[in-house]
Amino acid sequence: MSTTQTAVRPAAGASQPTPRPARADRHGLPAAGFLAPFLTLYLLFILGPAAYGLVMSFFDASLVQSGLGAFAGFGNYAEALRSADFWSSLWHTLWFTILTTPPLIVLALAFALLADRAARGRWFFRLAFFMPYILPSAVVALIWMFLYTPELGLLQNMLGHIGITAPNWLGDPDWAMPSLALTTLWWTLGFNFVLYLAGLQEIPRDLYEASAIDGAGPWQQIRRITVPLLGRTTTLVAVLQVIASLKVFDQMYIMTSGGPNFATRSLIEYVYDEGFTNYRIGYAAAVSMLFFLVVLTVSAIWFRIVRRGQKEI
Amino acid sequence: MSDFTGSGAGLRRRDLLRGAAGLGAGAVLAGCSAPVLSGLGTGRESAGSLDFWNLFGGGDGVRMTEMLDGFRAAHPGTDLKAVTLAWGNPYYTKLSLATLGAKPPDVAVAHLTRAKTLIASGLLEQLPLDELARSGITPDKLDPTAWRAGLVDGKAYAIPLDTHPFVMFYNTDVCEKAGLLDSAGKLTSLDSAEKFTDAMRRAKQVTKTYGGVVSINGDSATPWRIFQSLYSQLGGQMLADDGAQVVIDRGKAMRVLTFLRSLTSSGLVPGGIDYQGAIATFANGQAGFYFQGEWEISTFQTAEMPFSMTLFPNVFGGGRYAVQADSHTLVIPKQPDTDPERRDRSLTLIKSLLDQSKTWAQGGHIPAWLPFRNSAAYRAMTPNSAYAAAAQGAVYDPQGWYSGSGSNFEIVTSNAVATVLGGQQQPGAALAQMRDQLLDLAGTPSPIEGGAR
């Protein structure tokens, strides 16, 4: 525990500078010891491969040949930026993020509020919303592929009974991405939902009592007390959600293989196609690096927007 | 994602499992988590050991296990370790990396069209004819089309185990009611665009739903297979110069695409159904015909439905028959050291698997081993032997580093053909898209060139 204290205090304790470094030194060795298992794995499996990927991205590296291959300079990057497939996959990833992020935040909040207010059976609602999240992506994909099946699927059947012709969910290029977004919404809503529930627990109950005495209705309470006080949670949820959505791969790989007609090929699937199907691992590494920059930029901008919005409140 | 694996159901499950393995681990791990570890676990150290990699699940997996047990019983001195990996790109990636990393299996299964890429990468051992002959394997005992298709510069690297063509399944009840069976119960000829369309129409009148069905949605192989079957009947070529050139014949391709579109736009064939949906539609009797590789035979046998199988109709070929196909071959990946005894054991296994072609043929595949193929025992297998002629007309995917079973070539072509079947694009636009994407691939320097031969 002392390691966390020393790690936190230098930042917080600028007023008491002299004794701290000495304490930090005294704890340096145990701290390093505690960090070592994590750092080793981090170096081996994250930083090492990332650095190797960066190096590879400057070579015409092939998956089926040893060594790095010929030096390509920025050739792979230039090729990616010229490639229509790269831009369309990037757009698919962004489109998926746009489709999934707002509902995953708004609906999670709405359902958390409802579940929090439920007088009885609260455990049931919590369980019901969180349950899908614990399923592996493969299971979720399988369930939804059954639901979406044209001709025989459940959704088609149900809509048919009320006289609506269901679209070809996964087979129509225009519908495939919204269908994947819907699946993702059902699957991952529970995570944001739980974060919001935890946030709700932290709001002091007496604020509601005081406001009720002052004559505030439920809607006013939500708008003036709950949502502002959930600001930190919203920041966290929003940033995590954008990053999670940008990383999308499993659903598409399993449910549509990036189709129909590449309409749902996300950037990570493009990397997979180029690196593992076409053996062009150097080029795939370059695309990964570009993608890393995109995620970094989008996350940074998004973080700023969300933080600023919070300060205004 | 759905080249042949033995059964579509098995395939999907494996795809899914692969996805599950990658949950939260990102693209790289998705393809190679657990199987890589199991691959690493197979040691090369012990004397008398033999490592065999294959990609068979479903019914084929069961039959392969049976054949391996047959080998074990006959060769108790050999410690055979079999590793089954998920089908598709991950399999070939792992095989390549294990071979590069000097830990290859002794024998592996590869699709013929992918073996060509492995050969070009310098990852397979050449198999001299005299050495093969000592093990009892000679070219005259193997299917000539598959054998020749596997040769590179006249040298052998891959021993074909079978040919697995695109075929036509038909519901015998539906066809009888539709008046498509003759007095002997034989299906009438569908060998022209008119006859084919007419048969679909008459089948639809019986099923009230569809005439025929083929997998389209989320399928990166089947649309290519049906296109290639028809296109090669017209004598069309896709690539030349080992993939460096795209030589699509616009007139022929347009004819095929227009014909395919006419089937879906008239409602005879559903324009947007996935692999499992297509199987279910046929198994439920909602379609009289189903088009897929012969490996789905066990699916419908299990469903205990009235069906039979025959050659994919020669719609455009006239006197010459052609159909899309591939073969499973047995290969010896490049070994880090020369060990004559190990090599002997490897060839013994290959011969043993060929000898057990009867077991293998139950999965619908046309055996490449002629001593069995020409036997009465095979002729007695129905409906398996009914489409054996497809082996002669087999057209393999064109050569190119980006081509072959489960390759980007199949993904690109399938996607374009699927948009035509689904009515999302006109044939001309789809063809232009296919051509552009293939030109992109053709213009990219091959990542496998320069591999040591």
Could you write out the DSSP letters of every residue in B166-224? EEEEEEHHHHHHTT-B-TTSPBPP--SHHHHHHHHHHHHHHHSS-SEEE--BT-SSHHH
Distance CA A85, CA A262 (A): 9
Every domain of chain A and the residues it spans: 2-56, 81-312
Using the 8-state DSSP alphabet, how is residue A71 labeled?
B
Distance CA B296, CA B276 (A): 11
Q: B1, A257: Cβ pair inside 8 Å? A: yes
Question: What is the pLDDT at residue B2?
Answer: 39
Where are the domain boundaries for CATH 3.40.190.10 in chain B? 8-164+326-395, 166-325+398-443
Residue pLDDT, tens place only, B310-334: 999 999 988 889 999 999 999 999 9
Asked whether the predicted pLDDT for residue B413 surpasses 50, the reply is yes
Question: What is the pLDDT at residue A64?
Answer: 78
Contacts of A183 by beta carbon, 8 Å cutoff, 6+ apart:
A140, A141, A144, A251, A255
pLDDT band at B403 (very low <50, low <70, confident <90, very high): very high
Structure tokens at B451: 């591999």
Question: What is the pLDDT at residue A190?
Answer: 93
Instruction: State chain A's mean pLDDT as an integer.
Output: 86
Question: What is the pLDDT at residue B447?
Answer: 85
Residue pLDDT, tens place only, A261-306: 889 999 999 999 899 888 899 999 999 999 999 999 988 888 888 7
Smallest CA–CA separation between A273 and chain B, in Å?
7
Distance CA B237, CA B244 (A): 13
Find, among A75, A82, A110, A297, the residue nearest to A185 by Cα. A110
pLDDT band at A24 (very low <50, low <70, confident <90, very high): low
pLDDT band at B41 (very low <50, low <70, confident <90, very high): very low
Residue pLDDT, tens place only, B194-225: 999 999 999 999 999 999 999 998 888 999 99
B431 contacts B253 by C-beta, under 8 angstroms: yes
Cis amide linkage into residue A260, ω under 30° from 0: yes
Asked whether the predicted pLDDT for residue A6 surpasses 80, the reply is no
B107 contacts B159 by C-beta, under 8 angstroms: no
Question: What is the pLDDT at residue B89?
Answer: 73
Q: Which CATH number fits domain A81-312: 1.10.560.10, 1.20.140.10, 3.30.1130.10, 1.10.3720.10?
A: 1.10.3720.10
pTM score of the predicted model: 0.82
Asked whether the predicted pLDDT for residue B39 surpasses 70, the reply is no
Question: What is the pLDDT at residue B238?
Answer: 97
Q: Identify which of B19, B97, B440 has the shortest CB distance to residue A250.
A: B19
Q: Identify which of A69, A152, A168 has the shortest CB distance to residue B280.
A: A152
Using the 8-state DSSP alphabet, how is residue A277 labeled?
I
> Cα B169–A144–B19 angle (5° rounding)?
85
Asked whether the predicted pLDDT for residue B180 surpasses 90, the reply is yes
Which of B119, B415, B437 should we substitute to test contact with A (largest number of A Cβ atoms within 10 Å)? B415
Smallest CA–CA separation between A255 and chain B, in Å?
7
Provide, as residue numbers in chain B, all residues whose Cβ is less than 8 Å from the Cβ of A278: 402, 408, 441, 444, 447
CA dihedral B331, B105, B404, B225 (to 10 degrees): 90
Distance CA B115, CA B174 (A): 40
Question: What is the pLDDT at residue B310?
Answer: 95
Paired residues of B293 in beta bridges? B166
Give percent above pLDDT 90 in chain A: 49
Contacts of A196 by beta carbon, 8 Å cutoff, 6+ apart:
A108, A109, A112, A113, A230, A233, A237
Q: Identify which of A85, A150, A253 has the shortest CB distance to residue B273.
A: A150
Smallest CA–CA separation between A5 and chain B, in Å?
31
Is B108 strand, coil or helix?
Answer: strand
B210 contacts B268 by C-beta, under 8 angstroms: yes
Architecture of the domain spanning B8-164+326-395: 3-Layer(aba) Sandwich (3.40)
Cα separations in angstroms, B109 against B8, B98, B164, B165: 19, 14, 14, 17
Which of A151, A157, A255, A291 should we substitute to test contact with B (largest number of B Cβ atoms within 10 Å)? A151
Give percent above pLDDT 90 in chain B: 74
Q: What does R_g of chain B's alpha carbons equal in angstroms?
A: 22
Question: What is the pLDDT at residue B214?
Answer: 97
pLDDT band at B44 (very low <50, low <70, confident <90, very high): low
A 10 A CB-CB count for B413 gives 27
pLDDT band at A4 (very low <50, low <70, confident <90, very high): very low
Architecture of the domain spanning B166-325+398-443: 3-Layer(aba) Sandwich (3.40)
Asked whether the predicted pLDDT for residue A11 surpasses 70, the reply is no
Distance CA A178, CA A251 (A): 12
Mean pLDDT calculated for residue range B188-192: 94
Structure tokens at A244: 């999670």
Question: ipTM of this predicted complex?
Answer: 0.73
Smallest CA–CA separation between A163 and chain B, in Å?
19
Distance CA B334, CA B351 (A): 19
3-state DSSP: chain B helix, strand, coil percent, rounded to 5?
50, 15, 35
Residue pLDDT, tens place only, B351-383: 999 999 999 999 999 999 999 999 999 999 989
Asked whether the predicted pLDDT for residue B298 surpasses 50, the reply is yes
Give percent above pLDDT 70 in chain A: 90
Residue pLDDT, tens place only, A29-76: 888 888 999 999 999 999 999 999 999 999 999 887 777 888 988 999
pLDDT band at A312 (very low <50, low <70, confident <90, very high): low
A251 contacts A183 by C-beta, under 8 angstroms: yes
Mean pLDDT calculated for residue range A71-85: 92
Q: Give the pairing of strands B162-171 and B307-311.
A: antiparallel
Contacts of A132 by beta carbon, 8 Å cutoff, 6+ apart:
A140, A186, A187, A188, A189, A190
Least confident range from A20-29, A86-95, A188-197, A262-271: namely: A20-29
